[in-house]
Structure 1
Amino acid sequence: MPQPEAPEAARPRPAVVVTVLSSVGLVAALCMTLVVPLVPQLPQLLGTSTATASWVITATLLAGAVATPIAGRLGDMVGKRRVLLGTLGLLVVGSVLCAVSTDLVPVLVGRALQGVAVSAVPLGISLMRDTLPPARLGSGIALMSATLGIGGGLGLPLAAVIVEVADWHALFWVAGALGLAGLLLVAIVIPESATRSGGRFDTGGAVGLSIGLIGLLLAVSKGGEWGWTSAATLTSAGVAVVALLAWGLYELRVRDPLVDLRLNARRAVLLPNLISIPVGVAMFTGMVVFPQLLSAPLASGHGLGLSLLVAGLTLAPNGLVMMLMSPVTARVSAAWGPRASLRIGLVVIAVAYGAGTFLLSAAWQVSLVIAVIGAGVALAYGSLPALIMRAVPTTRTAAANGLNTLMRSIGTSTASAVAAVVLSASTIPVEGTLVPSLGALRTTLLIAAGCALLALVVSLAVPNLPEPTEHVERVGPEEPDQHDEPVEAAEPGPASRPLVRGRVLDDHGVPATGARVTLVGHDGRQLAVTPVDPDGAFAADPGADRPVLVIAGLTGAQPTAVHVAPGQDTLDRPLVLARIPDPLAEIPEVARPAGCPSPS
């Protein structure tokens, strides 16, 4: 149920909202790659084997994948800001736990808690939609969406610097401090969203999806280590298939599903989510391949022999360019639509990887290639949430963005697995160790280019939906001297003219799907008529006049109305439609006249 919006004077500036939420997303994404520089040292630092130590990264991946759709649904139900604060709190707790531990189990638990915070990205995108004015929404979403890539691009050099100058525990103290700062800023600056879906949390759906995702990601991320045909890999994959099929059947039958499969099966939602997987592969492949090229010994004939710190700084342009490209993404989407932004980004990624197969002989060439890849990823990532939010109700934005973030995570996990298979299949011995051959490095880059081209082909089928405000249906004349002319449908008014917004529910608190809302002026004229969205929300354009009455009607229900105060654009409470009872339902069966049907 929507809550009263904050007064205009109490609302934070759009630039402040974008800065705070994007910073939080950046911190959450950074935690995903924070320990990469420590991977070779983890067995010694934690007193365990190499295979066991790799769970320090896997635990974060699994926790993030499971938590993202759950946090998105909870955000839609009880408040996105509230859930965002909870995930940041877990990030802080997890960081501190890792910072004070030298044993494997506490570090695994802490890394899992850090992984939960990746859900801050879809929650932040949805908060932006509910908070920012339309003029700032495109650039804000583009930046927030790109933080997943920016964090990965900046995390490696930042972590390398910290490891060079301090103890490894300092990585987690820094992450904890950044998480705490983000938590406080969100608590102070960001208002709670007024849009709620209500309903009951789908515990069964959450359990089923968690089992399926854990099985799938274990098979993908550990298959190379366990063996792709080993019992452990095949068992994990089998559990994933069975669990996800059972989960899908369950979700189609439950009243308030964790993931609305019918909604996500729509072409306008399904295709952007599918595209996110190959885009995730293309984004992360460079972060896997180029460090191995940069750090490989010069004796290999193609390696550049750089230290971890210099290699990290060489890759830093990737994240920096993504950050700088966010406003460009917004301008491209505003001018030609998010589909065009997506397609341009995919072309840029494919061309960059294709050129990258020839530009591998110097550090500056790698920096150039990774920067161009970052530009393409920023264009593609920034457009995906915009496409999805045009196709889903306002009360499902956090869950929809959470699912999209999950698809990207599956893509990045797939990138790691594919790169590991290709790079390990062709190696050469150098100075007592095996390094990937130049041919293997180029093959992996070409696979990433192919993924971008595959996503480009799929993007051709993505429908071109209008902005949500363009669904408004307005009736009546624009000028007061035309009152006697027939009432006709017209295009929405200028963006600067405020829309009257609200929600329509039935007497059980469920969105009144199929209802229509009428705005009435002071002289009794109809100013606008608009249907409600599937979530019961509406946004109607009253034209040049101000409405004094909002009337909601639905077949089989008593109409209801509410007065609109001068200057009021959002209704403080929903319009509730009471269903008209069937008069025959009160007549005993034995007394019902012959021929009258039973109410059932």
Structure 2
Amino acid sequence: MPAAMPEPVAADRPADAVHPRALVGVLAFCGVVVAVMQTLVVPLLPHIPRLTGASPAAASWLVTVTLLTGAICTPVLGRVGDMYGKRRVLLASLGVLVLGSVLCAVSAQIGVLIAGRALQGAALAVVPLGISIMRDELPPARVLSSVALMSSTLGIGAAVGLPIAALVIEHSDWHTMFWVSAALGLLDIALVLGCVPESPLRSRGRFDVLGTLGLTVALSCLLLAVTQGAGWGWTSAPTLGLLAAAVLTALVWGRYELRCASPMVDLRVSARPAVLLTNLAALLIGFAFYANSLATAQMVQEPRSTGYGLGASLVVSGLCLLPGGLSMVALSPVSARISAKYGPKVTLTLAAGLMAVGVRGSGTSPATSSG
């Protein structure tokens, strides 16, 4: 969270320049494109070793690296947007997405693909930037429903992107999906330039360079240990060393942030129970959502001889996630109404309960029962 509240500055645009429906539609489309980018390689992962000559461990980095760069860039770019302009940073994030997509589209070398995916991961900041722009630009009566729609775009894009990517992989060259991602990113940039104004709000203070470096090191060490621990061994020297480095760096970073006049993260605010518990709940729900999506896509493709797989095609595995995306489109306005009437805590509790019921139900598939 930014350390200081944003302050208004002069903005030379007419009061009616913002068209709420166009603004929400464009920002939501940006979120969907980013989510599609995040998941489009999931159906391709089992085939990457054959297509690139890389090991399965190296191929898994096509997913891991986007999570790593997204975790680092989201708070950093959010702070930069508060200070220097959210629309400007949004456009830069989309530009990085296009660049990463082009890198992946022109190469079959695993190193280049990982670098391209790292750039694509930086675009995950688009969703929180879009939410911030909505809060700045929209009338109060439209903010809650618009934020609910923007938040749901990650799930919508993931559910839509998987079957589309599967169709492309089965019927065309696999590089095509990265060219499509680049084209969608360019379309996003054009739409933002035409429909999204620059927010007139700015935050005081200077950019916290040391805080950014400390956060980057701590998150990098932690995520590397978590994502590679199963392969390296949870008690191996690299895993334990990275975990120790993450803890020590986080302690030093936290001490510095508490003393910094304009910290990257206001730890005093983040430690408040309402903020801390909300962030923890969002973390756990996000983990459950992505774990379920990845596990479902793989389980459906695994052969029936495994005892749990369904032996279906790439396209079928993607279509299995499509109903989730459609339900998010349908229920995002419903969640906004529930939040307005009963409070967001009730909405979050209901959503978590529904997710638990859905995951429990999916665990009783015919393949699992017969195994």
Question: Which band: TM-score by shorter chain?
Answer: over 0.9
Aligned match of 1:252: 258
Query: Equivalent of 2:317, from 311, 319, 324?
Result: 311
State how far apart, in whole Å, the 2-side matches of 1:295 and 1:37 are: 9
CA deviations over 1:308-357 (Å, ceiling 9, x no partner): 11121122111121122111111111121212211211221222223333
Say if 2:46 is the partner of 1:40: yes
State how far apart, in whole Å, the 1-side matches of 2:158 and 2:230 are: 22
CA-CA distance at 1:438 after TM superposition: 6.2
Counterparts of 1:137-536 in structure 2 under 5 Å? 137-358=143-364, 360-361=365-366
Query: Equivalent of 2:68, from 52, 62, 66?
Result: 62
Q: Which amino acid aligns with 1:158?
A: I
Q: Which amino acid aligns with 1:344?
A: L
Which structure 1 segments of 5+ residues have no match?
363-436, 441-600
More strand by share: 1
CA-CA distance at 1:239 after TM superposition: 1.1
State how far apart, in whole Å, the 2-side matches of 1:230 and 1:115 are: 28
State how far apart, in whole Å, the 2-side matches of 1:438 and 1:248 are: 49
- Which piece of structure 1 moves more, 38-47 or 185-194? 38-47
Q: Which structure has the greater CA radius of gyration?
A: 1
CA-CA distance at 1:186 after TM superposition: 0.8
Aligned match of 2:14: 7
Counterparts of 1:8-27 in structure 2 under 5 Å? 8-11=15-18, 13-27=19-33
> Is the contact between residue 78 and residue 198 of structure 1 (CA under 8 Å) also seen in structure 2?
no
CA-CA distance at 1:289 after TM superposition: 2.8
The DSSP-based 3-state class of the residue aligned with 1:196 is: strand
CA deviations over 1:186-231 (Å, ceiling 9, x no partner): 1111011111113110000000000000111111111112111111
> Is the contact between residue 211 and residue 263 of structure 2 (CA under 8 Å) also seen in structure 1?
yes
State how far apart, in whole Å, the 2-side matches of 1:14 and 1:164 are: 39
CA deviations over 1:360-405 (Å, ceiling 9, x no partner): 128xxxxxxxxxxxxxxxxxxxxxxxxxxxxxxxxxxxxxxxxxxx
- Aligned-residue sequence identity (percent) comes to 51
User: Normalising by the residue count of structure 1, what TM-score does the alignment of the two structures yield?
Assistant: 0.59
**Over aligned residues, Cα RMSD in angstroms?**
1.8
CA-CA distance at 1:131 after TM superposition: 0.8
State how far apart, in whole Å, the 1-side matches of 2:369 and 2:35 are: 30
Say if 2:104 is the partner of 1:104: no
State how far apart, in whole Å, the 2-side matches of 1:51 and 1:180 are: 32
Q: Which amino acid aligns with 2:149?
A: L
The DSSP-based 3-state class of the residue aligned with 1:10 is: coil
State how far apart, in whole Å, the 1-side matches of 2:307 and 2:9 are: 64
Distance 1:208 1:95, change over 3 A: same
> Is the contact between residue 69 and residue 121 of structure 2 (CA under 8 Å) also seen in structure 1?
yes
Q: Which amino acid aligns with 2:267?
A: L
Which structure 2 segments of 5+ residues have no match?
1-6
The DSSP-based 3-state class of the residue aligned with 1:57 is: helix
Aligned match of 1:126: 132
State how far apart, in whole Å, the 1-side matches of 2:175 and 2:52 are: 12
Q: Which amino acid aligns with 1:223?
A: G
* Larger RCO: 1 or 2 (CA < 8 Å, sep 6+): 2
CA deviations over 1:9-50 (Å, ceiling 9, x no partner): 322x21111110011011112211111111122123223222
CA deviations over 1:526-551 (Å, ceiling 9, x no partner): xxxxxxxxxxxxxxxxxxxxxxxxxx
Distance 1:303 1:41, change over 3 A: closer
The DSSP-based 3-state class of the residue aligned with 1:8 is: coil
More helix by share: 2
> Is the contact between residue 25 and residue 121 of structure 1 (CA under 8 Å) also seen in structure 2?
yes
User: Normalising by the residue count of structure 2, what TM-score does the alignment of the two structures yield?
Assistant: 0.93
Distance 1:292 1:113, change over 3 A: closer
State how far apart, in whole Å, the 2-side matches of 1:123 and 1:315 are: 26
State how far apart, in whole Å, the 2-side matches of 1:47 and 1:293 are: 24
State how far apart, in whole Å, the 1-side matches of 2:57 and 2:112 are: 17
Query: Equivalent of 1:117, from 117, 120, 123?
Result: 123
State how far apart, in whole Å, the 2-side matches of 1:101 and 1:58 are: 19
State how far apart, in whole Å, the 1-side matches of 2:10 and 2:157 are: 35
Q: Which amino acid aligns with 1:9?
A: D
> Is the contact between residue 42 and residue 294 of structure 2 (CA under 8 Å) also seen in structure 1?
no
Q: Which amino acid aligns with 1:361?
A: P
CA-CA distance at 1:303 after TM superposition: 3.2
> Is the contact between residue 93 and residue 126 of structure 2 (CA under 8 Å) also seen in structure 1?
yes
Distance 1:186 1:439, change over 3 A: farther
State how far apart, in whole Å, the 1-side matches of 2:291 and 2:369 are: 15
The DSSP-based 3-state class of the residue aligned with 2:203 is: coil
> Is the contact between residue 307 and residue 370 of structure 2 (CA under 8 Å) also seen in structure 1?
no
Aligned match of 2:95: 89
State how far apart, in whole Å, the 1-side matches of 2:64 and 2:363 are: 29
The number of equivalent residue pairs is 364
